[in-house]
Structure 1
Amino acid sequence: MTEKHSPPKSRWFSPWLGKQTAQVAENEVIQMQVVTTEIAAEEGVTVCYCFNVDEESIKSAIKKHKLCSVEAVGLCLEAGTHCGSCHSRIQALLD
């Protein structure tokens, strides 16, 4: 199983940048995750960057536990339970 991490929240940025700037920074982090997730999905590497879950881990869990939804994958691996940018890739692996 892959190592699990949570991305920084805007409250983490707030003391240094101010609340509005912190929200912009958090949004930019999420946008970078979306782009890198799309690239990684094409290469077959990491699917969920929020929790560092790779394609093979998801495929293995789907087969082993007979998972049939993005939500079930999330319960099993946490993939897709934070920003949601990987939902379409997880769904593609389920189809």
Structure 2
Amino acid sequence: MSEISAEQVAHLANLARIALTEEEIGHLTTELGQIMRSVEKVSEVAGPGVPATSHPIPMQNVFRDDIVGDDVLTAEQALAGAPERDGDRFTVSAILGEEQ
């Protein structure tokens, strides 16, 4: 079982440019040690015969297929209420002072 030391936590904090007190280092050493032990327990049972999962419950797509219907808006109809437009496109203001 691999353990993490206070020195390793302090080194990681230094690499991440995070200032930690000795008390915080001690607390994080305990917490990270518990996380590492939990990961080791999972690794013990997650062998080659166990398929990887991204979600514990089987998921399915609940959206319908994207099919073009007869009641599709034309570009002119879609842009009719737009405050600004450029030809067949919506015009929006730049945000956060960035030029587009």
* TM range, smaller chain: 0.3 to 0.5
- TM-score (ref. length: structure 1): 0.33
Q: Which has the larger radius of gyration?
A: 2
Structure showing the higher helix proportion among its residues = 1
